[in-house]
Structure 1
Amino acid sequence: MHDTGTVTKPAPAPQHEDTSSKHARRFGLPVATALVMGNIIGGGIFLLPASVAPFGTISLVAFAVLTAGAIALALVFGRLARRNPQTGGPYVYAREAFGDFAGFLASWSYWITAWVSNAALAVAAVGYLDVLLPIHGSKLWTIVAALAVQWLPALANLAGTRYVGAVQLVSTVLKFAPLLLVAVGGLFFFHADNLGPFQASNDSPLGAVSASAAILLFSYLGVESASVSAGEVRDPERNVGRATVLGTCLAALVYLLCTLAVFGTVAHDKLVDSGAPMSDAVNAMFGGTWGGTAVAVSALISIVGALNGWTLLSAQTPYAAAKDGLFPAVFTKKKRGTPTVGVIVTVVLASLLTVYNYTAGSAGVFETLVLVTTFTATVPYLLATAAQIYFLLSGQGHKVDGARLARDMVLALAAFGFSLWLVGGAGYAAVYQGVLFLFVGVLVYAWIAARKKRGAVDATD
């Protein structure tokens, strides 16, 4: 186990297993950027404008603040990946800085976030699929559809990183086409009268910004995507940072333009009660009622693309931890560039949770679990940004002048503050229950550490 705070040896060179397979292919800058964008933007953008409409256009201020925080976090991940370009992202950085236990917590939290979020994305996809194929009345077909949405991206992952990258790139292009239609087309149909009041709620301006930010906060989860898969990225020291910042900035731009376009094309009083704001915007711009179908198709593509990327990430973090003996060794099995066991275990757990949601009438339990993941997702962020602060203060970062050191420290502190804000936005109940999930992880760590210690003792006998 590492001695906390005394890790001084340089990080080992990244390992790229099985890259000789024709099905394994390193991600270039475009695919790595698509991975970041696709994981940040899932299905939430299709409801986001209606969610923040009750606060008025002051919510755009919250967008600006959050975007600045997300970009700071993206820049920190870029610098950390340049320092240690290995698969695992936050796990790798936390373990290098603070030892095995911190690394395990980062890995455990991220893994929980991934497979529970995958189940939530599948449930959301079924809601959009119901617009195209009326399956809502049949519980059996609803379950089949939800499972199919999860297993198709999983099969793409099992086929190899070559196919993961192809699916991610194609789905990103396809899903952004209609979003750009709304974002750009909305400028030609924009009417200021539709915007409504700047502050529509009874809160103070600061309260309104904070309240709308609490809804928008988790729209930026996924900025770490390229760093988690750094081992599968070509020239990671250079491309991970670029993909992270570029993907985050492009996702933020799409968020902002789409929200502004919907604000300007749909009357405020209608938008507040809208269940499909993008559909309403398309219908307002071009007439007819085909907007619902178009948005449903786009949402499905968006969610499948997000599931494709998140399935890979859900396997990469335990893979990296398992290589260091901090996760069961079976997670180290890799084929065609993909950690196969991690993919299978993740999709099975997400599938079981999905079936439980539909058959046990446990919507409240499911929603609680999803809310908990908004907390567990921030634990790796806090540990990674704290690791960057530690590296800078201890002089273990790249040799830089005073001005650059100060700039990197400001970025790291801003990213840490942004991550704390994410925790606050999760709510007290989510934080409380999320901590319970972490304590379960402590028990798992105790078991793994004990087996590792016993193996070391037996080896010396």
Structure 2
Amino acid sequence: MHDTDGTQSRRFGLPTATALVMGNIIGGGIFLLPASVAPFGTVSLLAFGVLTIGAIALALVFGRLTERFPRTGGPYVYAREAFGDFAGFLSAWSYWTMTWVSNAALAVAGVGYVHVLTGGSGSMASDLTVALLLLWLPALANLAGTRWVGAVQMVSTVLKFIPLLFVAIVGLFFFDPSNLGSFTEGGSSWSGSLTASAAILLYSYVGVESAAMSAGEVRDPERNVGRASVLGTIGAAVVYLLGTLSVFGTVAHDKLVKSSAPFSDAVDAMFGGEWGGTLIAFAAVVSIVGALNGWTLMSAQAPYAAAQDGLFPAAFAKKRRGVPTAGVLAAAVLATVLTVINYTSGVAGVFEILVLITTFSATVPYLLATAAQVYFLLRGRRDKVQPARLTRDLVLALGGFGFSFWLVAGAGYAAVYQGVLFLFAGVIVYVWMAARRPADATASAEAGESAEAAEAVEAAEPAEKERVA
């Protein structure tokens, strides 16, 4: 059973789908990025450019794959269609894990920006309350239906995009080259600095798959998913690149490397006074709320698609007002548990380990999806792909796979180790669900595979038919 939502029920047009991509890419991390990469020098801007090319290639691949399979689930659907149930499950499990763990991390990060707005720090109980509000308000918007999800995403994307773009563009008029520092810092080679800064920036574009993941809710997904993925990625790249360049040029390098609020420092340097912190803190809170709104929807889409195929519990396959409610609630509850643990357990390092898991988990669906596109092209399943576009699509797929592989390498040994352990923990869930699948569903799947094999034989050349026989 697959997503059968009709065109009339698809509520995301191109602007909303683009806002979903851009809003999920630009979370709270952008507000610290310039200070994070400043120690490596301005070579980090080159790293951003290289990563942007890779992210756009990945966005184009998701657009091509959605032309083949225009339904909810994105990377899960592609992996399952190419490599079977187990690969599909690993993609869905990995993606689902990443979403609710990262939601908890976003909520905790948002508390710090709320402190800036309120003018002071609060008690543990008040901090926990704020973090839970940041989690559950977007969850309630999701439970209200996709129209509310789209509305919140549009408003939050505009509200955070305007101040960030303001700093990015106006900062160029206050640009002072003497603030930049060296091309490379610390005596490192340019290639070493490029790699080191890229490792920090690699996850800046996680979220590029958001439109593909919600393809079942996008109008005319064969056209709009690819467009939204590319436009959202380019929009995020403009904010990233121009914003980082402006901060580099307005804040002295020795101050920037120690800054805990680089965009606020940039506003204060441009206009004087201390109001920059309040402006940027407001943009950060809005950005985090928007990201939580979008990622809450993503946390429900992967298990929804997998549940339709019997690979997740059936409750995840039920929708209300276009939103899989069980997925939204499950993600919100699990993120709540992690947030409570963060504030009350007193056990150092637990939350950091979970965040490491997300850095690896985000890459598994990308690798499987891009590998699926390479498989479809090489295997000859070129339906809906013009022959003249075949070479270009293969280059894009290989580029997307290379970018995804770079993401895995950039995650670091600790992230890969923790992530693989958690990924393999899902195997027992797959075994449980596979064992409980109805016999008729298993027979249907086997029949489908047999039919596909028969079609392949029928399409083969006569000599090939004899060899297969």
Q: Is the 8 A contact 2:179 2:253 kept in 1?
A: yes
Given the alignment of the two structures, is residue 307 of structure 1 paired with residue 296 of structure 2, yes or no? no
Report the alpha carbon displacement of residue 117 of structure 1 after superposing the two structures with TM: 0.3
Shift of 1:399: 5.3
Question: Which residue does 2:251 correspond to in 1?
Answer: 266
Deviation at 1:132, TM superposition (A): 1.5
**Which range moved further: 352-361 or 363-372?**
363-372
- The answer as to 2:42 corresponding to 1:57 is yes
The 10-residue stretch of structure 1 (187-196 or 133-142) with the greater mean CA deviation from structure 2? 133-142
Change (3 A) 1:260 1:56: same
Give unpaired runs (5+ residues) of structure 2.
445-469
Q: 1:135 to 1:151 in 2, by over 3 A?
A: farther
Counterpart amino acid of 1:16? Answer: D
CA distance in 2, matches of 1:379, 1:143: 31
Instruction: Choose the corresponding residue for 2:4, options 8, 15, 38.
Output: 15
Tell me the equivalent position of 1:99: 84
Separation of aligned partners in 1, 2:421 and 2:175? 48
Which segments of structure 1 move beyond 4 Å, counting only runs of 4 or more?
399-403, 453-459
Distance 1:400 1:117 in 2: 36
One-letter identity of the residue aligned with 1:176: F
1:383 to partner: Cα distance: 0.3
Contact 2:2-2:305 at 8 Å conserved across structures:
no
Q: Which residue of 2 aligns with 1:71?
A: 56
Q: CA deviation at 1:137?
A: 3.6
Equivalent residue, structure 2, for 1:124: 109
Query: What amino acid is the match of 1:312?
Result: L
Partners in 2 of 1:237 and 1:455 — Cα distance?
31
Residue 6 of structure 1 corresponds to none
In the other structure, the counterpart of 1:44 is 29
Q: Deviations over 1:46-77 (max 9, x none)?
A: 00000000001011110111001001100000
CA RMSD of superposed structures (Å): 1.7
1:291 maps to 2:240 = no
Distance 1:273 1:133 in 2: 23
State the alpha-carbon separation in 1 of the partners of residues 31 and 438 from structure 2: 50
Q: Does 1:165 align with 2:154?
A: no
Once the two structures are superposed, what CA deviation does each residue of 1:352-391 show, in whole Å capped at 9, x if it has no partner? 1000000012341101211211101100000000000000
* Cα pair distance change 1:302/1:454, threshold 3 Å: same
Identify the range of structure 1 (135-144 vs 439-448) with the bigger mean alpha-carbon deviation.
135-144
Aligned residues between the structures: 444
Instruction: Report matched runs for 1:275-424 at 5 Å.
Output: 275-398=260-383, 400=385, 402-424=387-409
* C-alpha spacing 1:137/1:378, structure 2 compared with 1 (3 Å): same
Amino acid at match of 2:288: I
Bigger Cα displacement from structure 2, 400-409 vs 141-150: 400-409
Distance apart, 1:200 and its partner CA: 0.9
Give me the whole-angstrom Cα distance separating, in 1, the residues matched to 2:438 and 2:140: 37
1:115 aligns with 2:100: yes
Deviations 1:158-184 (A, max 9, x none): 000000000000000000110011011
Kept in 2: contact 1:223–1:244 (CA 8 A): yes
C-alpha distance in structure 2 between counterparts of 1:49 and 1:457, whole Å: 52
Output the amino acid matched with 1:184.
Answer: I
